């Protein structure tokens, strides 16, 4: 039960913010939003506001949607005649439609940044330089030639600004050779380091271990402007690392432990909740950023698929045929459902392996 509650406590606000982004820009663009739903299925509670939007909470809180005028279904599959309805999504200009669709992922990125900034202002942020404080005997670091005092500048071309970034990259690359560029007494040195593969019983995944301790850092609370700067930087950095992870997944280079679905997210949600409010908020920020990024993938039925259609429309001067869009949309939905089933089955099998 803790897994389910923690999962819903993180997912519901993140989905709400995503849909709120669509809703807000749609309203600003003159598009009438008829339904704003958190969850799917039977309605548990609803109210209609003065703009005519029906705000509802549904029985299955595993997502949400906004239904705009002219849509005959929640998936926004194009329907004939929608373009002649005043205030409909289809009647808006192509640029307005692009803005409405992009607003959902954008809201998730902004929400993630706000959570980071709130934690940095309210609690603080650890500043640990990417400097090796100690090398453990027999470790992957020692075998590769890393030494105490080395400052890691780049790993596989990625700039390393703090020790947590280094830790994350090593964690995600068990048994995979990584090119380290380090500063050793003001001399740049390149080393190939292969993190040892260690299995986590708690996470049920393999992870990389370097075998070093960090140099001393500091922990301090930040002011508003500094929090925003660091939150923005961290969001960009997290997004880049997630893109790398998605690229490995698509190209078949991902480790088995990197693949997970709702069950695994629920496990991590419960772990984050046990760490206290800060851990919970940071994990929520990561989920929000991840949701924003995944929705930008150009698969029909995702926001990225809609954006791709609108870019094509802007280039050729007319929308793609409605029947063609509808087929692609339904194909995209089928692909997403199949993927969800596969990762969920994998999650469940992993529990019993």
Answer yes or no: are the C-beta atoms of 194 and 140 closer than 8 Å. yes
> d(Cα 49, Cα 68) in Å, to the nearest integer?
15
The number of beta carbons lying within 10 Å of the beta carbon of residue 228 is 17
For 59, residues 6+ apart whose C-beta sits below 8 A from its C-beta are: 39, 40, 41, 42, 43, 44
> d(Cα 109, Cα 70) in Å, to the nearest integer?
28
The number of beta carbons lying within 10 Å of the beta carbon of residue 284 is 20
DSSP 172: T
Q: Which two tokens stand for residue 350?
A: 């992993």
For 222, residues 6+ apart whose C-beta sits below 8 A from its C-beta are: 120, 121, 124, 125, 230
Q: Does 19 qualify as catalytic in the annotation?
A: yes
- Local structure of 41: helix, strand or coil: strand
For tokens 């598009």, name the residue.
31
Answer yes or no: are the C-beta atoms of 297 and 332 closer than 8 Å. no
- Local structure of 331: helix, strand or coil: helix
Please name which of 106, 87, 139 lies closest in space to residue 18, comparing C-alpha atoms. Answer: 106
- Interior angle at CA 348, CA 346 and CA 350, nearest 5: 70
Q: Which two tokens stand for residue 208?
A: 């990389």
> d(Cα 227, Cα 342) in Å, to the nearest integer?
39
> d(Cα 305, Cα 311) in Å, to the nearest integer?
10
For tokens 């049920």, name the residue.
204
Pick the catalytic residue: 19, 34, 134, 322? 19
Q: Which residues belong to the active site?
A: 19
């Amino acid at each position: 039960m803790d897994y389910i509650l923690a999962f819903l406590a993180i997912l519901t606000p993140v989905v709400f913010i995503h849909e709120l982004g669509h809703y807000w820009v749609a309203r600003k663009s003159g598009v009438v939003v008829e339904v704003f739903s958190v969850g799917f299925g039977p309605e548990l509670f609803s109210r209609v506001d003065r703009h005519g939007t029906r705000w509802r909470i549904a029985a299955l809180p595993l997502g949400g949607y906004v239904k705009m005028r002219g849509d005959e279904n929640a998936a926004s599959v194009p329907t004939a005649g929608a373009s002649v309805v005043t205030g409909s999504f289809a009647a808006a200009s192509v640029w307005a439609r692009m803005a409405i669709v992009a607003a959902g992922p954008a809201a998730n990125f902004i929400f993630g940044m706000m959570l980071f900034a709130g934690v940095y202002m309210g609690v603080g942020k650890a500043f640990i330089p990417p400097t090796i404080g100690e090398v453990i005997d027999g470790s992957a670091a020692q075998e590769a030639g890393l030494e105490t005092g080395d400052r890691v500048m780049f790993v596989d071309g990625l700039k390393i600004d703090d020790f947590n970034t280094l830790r994350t990259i090593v964690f995600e690359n068990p048994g995979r050779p990584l090119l380290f560029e380090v500063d050793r007494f003001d001399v740049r040195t390149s080393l190939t380091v292969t993190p040892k593969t260690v299995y986590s019983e708690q996470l049920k995944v393999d992870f990389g271990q370097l075998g070093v301790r960090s140099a001393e850092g500091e922990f301090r609370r930040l002011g508003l402007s500094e929090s925003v700067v660091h939150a923005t930087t961290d969001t960009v950095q997290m997004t880049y690392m997630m893109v790398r992870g998605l690229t490995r997944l698509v190209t078949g280079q991902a480790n088995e432990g990197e693949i997970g679905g709702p069950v695994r997210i629920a496990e991590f949600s419960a772990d984050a909740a046990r760490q206290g409010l800060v851990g919970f908020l940071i994990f929520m920020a990561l989920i929000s950023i991840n949701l924003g990024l995944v929705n930008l993938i150009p698969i029909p039925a995702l926001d990225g698929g809609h954006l791709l259609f609108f870019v094509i429309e802007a280039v050729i001067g007319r929308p793609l045929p409605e029947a063609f869009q509808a087929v692609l949309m339904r194909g995209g939905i089928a692909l997403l459902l199949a993927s969800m089933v596969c990762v969920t089955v994998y999650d469940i099998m992993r529990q019993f392996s």
